[in-house]
Structure formats: structure tokens, C-alpha cells
A and B are shown apart, each in its own frame.
Chain A
Amino acid sequence: MAIQIKSDGTWAAEYEGPYQGLDVQKPETLISDKASPSFNNFMLRNSELRSRPAFTLPFTGNIFNFPVPFPVGVSSFLDINGTYHTVAWAGNNMYQYNPALLPSAPWSTVGAAGPGSLAQQPLTYRTFANSIYYTSSALLAPPHGSGGIAAVTPFLAYWDGIAAAPIFQQTFSDASTSNSIAGISLSDSPTVGGSLPGGPTIIGPIAIGAGFLAELNNQLLLANISIKDQGNGKIYNFPTLIWWSANGLPLQWDPTQNTSAGFNPFLDVSDQITGLAMLGIAGYIFRTFGITQMTPTGSAVTPWEFDHMWASDHGIGNVLPWSISQYGPTAAFVAQDNIYSLSVTNAQPIGGNSRDAIMTDLANCSGPPVANIIPIFKAGYVYLTYEIWIPFPSFTRVYVYSFEDKNWATWDLALPAPSIGQQLVSVPNVV
């Protein structure tokens, strides 16, 4: 209720929900009485101003010790035997949640995750055919605020939940072996590698990795590609390249062996690929300043049709590589001018009256922000939110957008950066 002034000189003002959240884009006297010019660590769920849930350690004990205490991902998948696995990655290894170890740290080592250290960069993962696939690489242009990220030897690997260890190597018919399950044999490497942008002279075998991984049309998709020529150890980066596996064959990436595998370099764009989202029958390749739609054609030889949604040098794109997230038919991401949700039909700005505060904090962050759409905090406690996690030297700030109430809240966490790196190098996830 807006302020009421009676003729006898008395006044009253009443404030109640549903709340509109943070409003920094009007003078404090002109905002709605359901909004706030500044607040922190209150949750606006169900029309209450409730102190946010405690930020706690659910398990005693640490997972990963120095010198590589940087968890770079966490996820769950269902194996072919119907068993759920919750896995995490850090250092050189993949770990699995093992409740039998409680009350000690409930994480046991599955095995080496890839050919080298996973460093301090979020990896991306995708479940396909009851196995979890994951990739990492060396992003050519580190995202804003990163101050440079240690390069990761490019690879794609998988674990089916049954084998003793993850698989990141593949041996070809010519007996050569690539340190990535997305690889090209020694025999085919000069031909395949020579047709990449710039026509590099490749010895082979080639190991392929990427910043981003997705699946569409029963084909795995890698985007923002790095390849390692294992013949001379040289790494080539192709920030606008997308490479797909053969249809239904996630271990086959060689277009000379199977024509439904292949790659496409977007030579006509001036930025780099910063993420992927698959909505309905189409895929969306996010670049820094644009979005490209890819649609299956049904043809094995030319399996995709690509359309840049706008051809301008600058437009709505995803400026933060790990801000894209997806829940069902909705994706969310951070562009240069606003935060957007993307559905099959349109892109909708959702920054609202909090946009300027979010953009200011993103510009001043001390490391790469990460984001995800979180449907629940735990089983039975639903709060469908898009959360942007922004690291600062002495704390971490989370902007929480409620899809139901269409409001933003600000939560500051007592999570400072350790002196050896960033406090967050992984996207939070529901497992």
C-alpha cells in the first residue's frame, strides 16, 4: 500500500509482498513500495522477506587438497544398470560421491579424468546414452575478469559408471592413439587437419577438445574448439569452430570415415563461441555478440543448417562463457546490455530494475562469473531461480532471479578468494 495521508495530518505506509526485488533504476522515493533500493541476504520466495538459507558444508572433510584444490564441475547421471552416479572433477581426476565413506569426505577417486590437469576452468558435461561425456580446452580469449586461465590440454572423455575409470583415449585402425575420444587417426590427420581454417600442416594423431559440449540429433557437439597435434605437441585454437560426432556414434569424429561427422568454422563472425543451448528441435550457438541457430536437416552429408539470427557485428549474445544455463524449454544468459531468457519463440530481457547493479558487479568481478538455473535447493524445496555467481576478493555475490515472481535478490556469501586462485571455478549444479 502506498503512503496514505489523511486530512487530520496522520499518515501510514504499509509494505507487503509479493515483492518486486531490487530496484536501482529509479530514485528511492519513486520505486514501488514492493521493491527495495538495496537489500542483501533476504529471500523473496512466497511473498515473505525471509533470511536466506544458510550457506553450509553438507559433508565434513574436504575433497581435494593442495596443490590442485579446484573442483571444476559436479553432475549426476544414470548408468545403463539404472544406478545414479554423482561425480565431480578436480586436479587430474574424476571423483564419485560415495555415502559409505560418511562421516569422512564421501568422495572416492574414479580415475584420471583426462590427459592432464583440469586446471582452473569450468568443464562442460553432457549425459548421452547413459554415460557422462565431458570436455575442456584452452579458451583462446579468456573471459572478462579471469586474468588468464591455465591452458588445459584439449580432450573429450566419458565414463559409463561401470568401467573402472573414465575413458579419454581412443586407438584407431592404424594403431595410432589420440588422447581424446574425439580424435583423428594418424593416417587421416593430414587430410582432416589440413582442411581446418588456415590449412595447418598436421602430423597427427589429433586430439579434439572444446570449451563447450552439447547434444542434438543423437550427435555430440563441441564448440570453441582446440586441437592438439600429438605429432609435434602443438595446440591450435579455433574459437568460432563447431565440430560434431557421427550420428549415434559419439566416438566417431572423422568426416573421412563417416560423413555425418564434421565441422564448420564460422569465418564470417568477429567474436568467439561462448556457449550452447538446445531448445526443441534446434540448437543455439552463442557467440559474444550474436546467436546462431542450427537445425537438423535429416541429411547425413550436410546434417545442419546454420543461420546467424542477426548479421550485425554487435548484437545480443552471451558475453560470459559460463552464464548460459537451461532448464526445460528456457535458457538464460548474460549479454552486453541485459540478462536474457531465451525460449523457442523469443529472447526476453529479464534484468529488469536490477540490471544496472548486476552489470556493475559483473564489470568489477575478480574472476569469471558462473551461472545456472536451479529448480530446487533440495528435494521438496522448490525455488526456480537463475543464479549468477560473481566472485570478489573478499566475498562472493549471488544475484538470484525468480522465474515465478520475476524479481532479483542479492545474496552475499562469506566465500572469499583463496590467494592461489578463484573461489569458484565450477558451475553450481543440482545433483
Chain B
Amino acid sequence: MILIPATVFSGGFLGVMYTFDPTNFNDPNSGSFYNWKVEDGIAGRTLTTGLVILSYRDLGVATITVTLSGVLGITDAKSPSTPVSKSQQVTIGTIGATQKLCTVLIGMAFSAANMQLSVLRAPNAGPVSITKARLEGRVETTVMA
């Protein structure tokens, strides 16, 4: 096993040995996040998302926060872009931790340019294993010139 010698303060200064436990993917002290690529679709146009689809492996019950973020407006001296975002908390997995692949559909109506999907897992919020993410929606196609 991997051993990580370290010095900590816990009621006194202590030398201890840590390890990574590959039977437990729910770190009680550290959260996790993943930001996917920023999608600009057609440059300068607004993307509208209606649905976020996450496929995941059931490692047990976990609570995650799914966020879509982006900007509204075209930046120039008169109209600076405004960062916008929308989040939704989702509970995935089962107590039985079946290890099966599952899918959750998350309805999220959200419009922005430069759209980005993110997932956040808080400390001790459960084990998470995402195998696929999908965004679906519409794109502004108005001809500007």
C-alpha cells in the first residue's frame, strides 16, 4: 500500500502515516469539482440548454451540484458581458451501491454564450463516478450581417 508520512497538528504535533483508500471514494474532508470545455457553438451567439444528461456508475448515494455557466451580452465598451449561471442539486446512486451504469436527466433551461458544464461534490457528499455527460438545446442562428 502507499504510505504518505506527514506531520499534522491535532491537539499536539504528530507524525502520522496517510494512505489513499481505493475502496472509499467519498473523502470526508475534501470536495471535488470538474469543469468541462467551454462551448461557444457559433461565436457570438447564445446557446440555450434544455437538458443535461449524466451517465454514472452507482457507487452509493451522492449529492452533486450541476451548474451551467456562461456570459450574456457581447462585450464592447458600451455593453460588457455579464457572467451568469444556474445550478441544480441532484442526488444520484443508491444505498445498495450496485456498481451498475445509470443515467439521470436534469432539466435545466439556461441561455448564455460560452456555456460550460460543471459538477461539484461537497466534502463527504458521497462517491461519484461520471462516465458520460451530454448537453442538449438550441442555438441562436439569427444572421447578424
Mark A residues whose CB is within 8 Å of B.
Answer: 3, 5, 9-17, 27-29, 31-33, 35-42, 47-59, 62-74, 88, 90, 374, 376-379, 381, 383, 389, 412-415, 418-426, 428-431
Contact = CB atoms under 8 A, between A and B. Distances in A.
A413 to B, nearest CB: 6
A378 B22 contact: yes
Contacts of A9: 138-139, 141
A52 B32 contact: yes
B136 A37 contact: no
A237 B127 CA distance: 51
Nearest to A8: B138
14 contacts: A14-B135, A15-B132, A31-B37, A36-B37, A41-B27, A50-B130, A51-B25, A55-B30, A66-B13, A71-B7, A90-B5, A376-B2, A389-B4, A413-B30
A409 B23 CA distance: 19
A13 B129 contact: no
A383 B25 CA distance: 15
Given A53-B21, A430-B1, 19 more contacts: A11-B139, A16-B133, A28-B37, A36-B35, A47-B131, A49-B128, A51-B127, A52-B32, A54-B25, A56-B18, A56-B20, A56-B21, A69-B13, A415-B18, A419-B9, A420-B13, A423-B6, A424-B6, A430-B3
A41 B57 CA distance: 17
A429 B30 CA distance: 22
Contacts, number: 242
Contact of B38 (A37, A39, A74, A376): A37
B2 A414 contact: no
B17 A58 contact: yes
Contacts of A35: 37
Q: Which 3 residue pairs across A and B have the least CB separation, nearest first?
A: A64-B15, A71-B5, A41-B32
Nearest to A95: B15
A52 B38 CA distance: 24
B38 A429 contact: no
Contacts of B26: 51, 54
B56 to A, nearest CB: 9
Q: Is the interface of B mostly helix, strand, loop or mixed?
A: strand
A37 B35 CA distance: 7
Contacts of B5: 71-74, 88, 90, 424-426, 428
Contact of B130 (A28, A33, A49): A49
B37 A55 contact: no
B96 interface: no
B28 to A, nearest CB: 7
Nearest to B48: A11
B7 A29 contact: no
A51 B121 contact: yes
B80 interface: no
A88 B6 CA distance: 12
Contacts of B4: 389, 424, 426, 428
B37 to A, nearest CB: 5
